[in-house]
Chains A and B, each alone.
Chain A
Amino acid sequence: MMMQTEYIEELHKDDALPSETKDADDGFVLNIDNLKVYFELRKRAFQHAGFVRAVDGVDLQLKRGETIAIVGESGCGKTSLMKTILRINKPTGGTIQFDGEIINDFKKNELKDLRLKIGYVQQDPYGALAPFMDVQTILEEPLKINGVTDREERIQRVRQVLEEVRMTPVDDFLRKFPHQLSGGQQQRVVIARAMILNPILLVADEPVSMLDASVRVEILKLLRALQEEHNLAVIYITHDLATVRYFSEYIFVMYAGQVIEKAPEAQLINETAHPYTHALLAATSDPDPKNVDEFQEVPAGEPPSLVTPPAGCRFHPRCEKIIQGLCDIERPPEFDLGNRHSVACWLFKDRPALREYSGVSE
């Protein structure tokens, strides 16, 4: 008789088959094209009162074994993007192709299979774990839901995954409740839960922002090791550029619902192109005693409202290098800078455009 966890792996293989034929074309685990996620605003429950354009025209491709980071301030749409990949939100426009299938209009049973293949690591580990369940119950839950009825087998898998997240000796932790664990250990349980169904994509939403500095690095290294062991595709969402470097090769910078710069990590830091990325980097401090002697450069103003975003480039009201008559009218296309580095900024208009955004943006 086939073990049921093996059955889940088998299921993955079956799913992988049709996509492998498509792999020949693109090889992407995730292929997002011009994704738009709008939330409708209503006045007095019925009247339409505009949209919150949380994600507005985002392209993203991700291969197996790749790690990308999405960096941006709160309210820039990075969490909405992630929730749409998990299909918690429904896309308003554009397509999301996951593992060879377009998931825009998945029904409930299809979504169950989809979420089997995507692991999700939440931001606040304490909030993400049910306080009345012990570690074993928490980790058994996804297996139960996905039809592993044999208790012995479930426990075996729980032990295996706890060892993978380096919570050893396992017996010390199985019967503990979340409040008895330290922040780092809680986050390990969350990671174990995300990994227990052998996902092919892991989405980590600010996995270390709630943790102590000394534990952050430990958790990031663990995620990195898991990624390598299982050849996972990982999306790491964060606002902290300093931690990105140790984890992802490729960085997307988001501002007001749009991706404004994409580059390999070293390229982004050494050859920063977009004025907003410049500002983000300048505001990220390293522990340096000279910091007290100078002010940090910060662009004036605050991120725009996503209900009525500025026309043209969304950063133009705060940008010092604004080209009047261009930046404030037309949305900049994505210009290619070579070495997989591209930027949506009119300062680079002499470079070849990778993608045009038709017409004047609304």
Chain B
Amino acid sequence: MAKDKSYMHKEAIEAAKEKALLMSKMTDTTHKTGDVRHDLLLSIKDLRLHFETIRGPVQAVDGVNFDLVTNKAVVVVGESGCGKSSLAKAVLRLLPRNVAHYSGQVVLRDEDTMALSDEEYRERVRWVRMSMVPQAAMNSLNPVLRVGDQVAEPMIVHFGMKKEDAMQQAALMFRNVGVPVDFLTRYPFELSGGMRQRVAIAMSLITGPDLVILDEPTSALDVLTQANIFNLLKRIKANLDTSFILITHDISTSSELADIVAVMYAGQIVEVCESHRFFTVPRHPYSAKLMASVPRLREREEPEFILGTPPSLINPPTGCRFKDRCEKRFEKCEQEPPTYRFGDDSVKCWLYEGKSEE
């Protein structure tokens, strides 16, 4: 068995090295040329994550479904407290202690990862095939360890690589994300916010995963730094096969990376929409309101705000969860709306009853 493992690791190390080398030869394109494979990478089915609290279970993720193909970026948008970050935690199985209920399917390339034990999951999925750039990544680095050691750690822990080799790989990754290589021996406090963010991205990419989950990667950064980070992510997406799940509340900057937009409201995904359509005419009334609330630099329209507050996730309203804030509500909204499909898009709203194109 142990022999088997090392063999697997050797392969994984080679793959990771190859990806890093590929990254170092990145060209300045935003889109891949030639043949692009878009096969199904991740399929989430009825994912639920509830937390136990004194006042009752919080239904943070409540029946989420969506698919993601390789080399695409899906953006999950929604107001704070809608369960976006919990969704990321549920997909990567980074669960806190107070979990009340965790179920559903997370299928990664034909393998249902929910069926794996924690140990198998840690060994074979987390940071090997899926990794994450956590929220406030700039503060999530360990302040007492050199950043180079932190970036190299996944290679040592997951693939049993020798320290020196792992450091070499880390140096290559630093170069790839635009951090000077002599920063390897620095501590996080010696780096600027943008540099720390790049380090966190290097850490998430070092094992050459298929999928990277970015949780609010730029919300604490300045506009110019933010633009830099998005340029880097675009370049990675165009040159590697990496897919992204970007979790954010900032709709303006999300349009820099999005191929698909998933709108989350009160623990549920209410709309999945291809980005070109979403940023012009979104389907769900909540998405439309959300788009109208964005202050724009280049247009003269006054932004509007959404009246009311999102519902509590402890006792979410029955029927459509947005109905109390919706201008287009009618009698049907008292019942839970089904999800109507429009090709690859979908929307969870009674307004589209009988209009779907399967």
Q: Using a CB–CB distance below 8 Å, which chain A residues touch chain B? A: 73-74, 182-184, 212-218, 221, 239-243, 245-246, 269, 279-289, 291-299, 302
Contacts and interface: CB of A to CB of B under 8 A. Distances in A.
Nearest to B28: A295
A183 B80 contact: yes
B255 A285 contact: yes
Contacts of B280: 289
Given A217-B303, A285-B255, A280 B249 contact: no
Contact of A296 (B194, B231, B279): B231
A285 B253 contact: yes
A296 B222 contact: no
The residue among B192, B225, B259, B295 with the most chain A CB atoms within 10 A of its own CB is B295
B295 A245 contact: yes
B305 interface: yes
Categorize the interface residue count of chain B: 35 or more
Contact of A239 (B192, B222, B251, B309): B222
Interface stretch (B85-93, B126-134, B285-293, B337-345): B285-293
10 contacts: A183-B80, A240-B295, A241-B297, A242-B296, A281-B297, A286-B294, A287-B251, A288-B279, A289-B280, A295-B30
Given A214-B79, A292-B259, 19 more contacts: A73-B223, A74-B222, A215-B305, A217-B304, A240-B223, A242-B295, A245-B295, A280-B223, A281-B297, A283-B224, A285-B252, A286-B255, A287-B251, A287-B291, A289-B280, A292-B256, A295-B231, A298-B224, A298-B231
A73 B256 contact: no
Sorted nearest first, the 3 A-B pairs with minimum C-beta distance are: A283-B227, A296-B227, A218-B305
A221 to B, nearest CB: 7
A182 B255 contact: no
Interface of B: 28, 30-31, 79-80, 192-194, 222-228, 230-231, 234-235, 249-259, 275-276, 278-280, 289-291, 293-299, 302-306, 309
Contacts of B290: 213-214
A79 B296 CA distance: 25
B195 to A, nearest CB: 9
The residue among A214, A243, A279 with the most chain B CB atoms within 10 A of its own CB is A214
Contacts of B297: 241-242, 245, 269, 281, 284, 286
Given A214-B79, A241-B297, A246-B295, A287 B252 contact: yes
Contacts of B257: 292
A142 to B, nearest CB: 27
A283 B192 contact: no
B224 A214 contact: no
Nearest to B228: A298
A219 to B, nearest CB: 9
Contacts of B289: 214
Contacts of A296: 227, 230-231, 256
Contacts of B193: 74
A246 B303 CA distance: 9
Nearest to A74: B222
A294 B79 CA distance: 27
A291 B256 contact: yes
A286 B296 contact: yes
Contacts of B295: 216-217, 240, 242-243, 245-246
B234 A299 contact: no
B289 to A, nearest CB: 7
A284 B295 CA distance: 11
Contacts of B230: 296
A294 B235 CA distance: 10
Nearest to A73: B222
A298 B227 contact: yes
B231 A242 contact: no
Contact of B255 (A183, A240, A282, A289): A289
A178 B249 CA distance: 23
Contacts of A242: 252, 294-297
A287 B253 CA distance: 7
A239 B252 contact: no
Nearest to B80: A212
Contacts of B31: 293
B262 to A, nearest CB: 15
Contacts of B291: 287
A215 B224 CA distance: 24
A183 B256 CA distance: 27
A280 B121 CA distance: 43
A351 B223 CA distance: 30
A277 to B, nearest CB: 12
A292 B30 contact: yes
A163 B261 CA distance: 38
Given A212-B80, A217-B303, A295-B234, A284 B223 contact: yes
Given A292-B257, A296-B231, A298-B228, A213 B28 contact: no
Contacts of B275: 289, 292
Nearest to B277: A289
Contacts of A74: 193, 222
A151 to B, nearest CB: 32
Nearest to A293: B30
A285 B79 contact: no
B223 A239 contact: yes
A229 B192 CA distance: 42
A288 B252 CA distance: 8
The residue among A241, A293, A302 with the most chain B CB atoms within 10 A of its own CB is A302
Contacts of B231: 295-296, 298
B38 to A, nearest CB: 15
A246 B302 contact: yes
Contacts of A212: 79-80, 249
A288 B280 CA distance: 8
Nearest to A286: B296
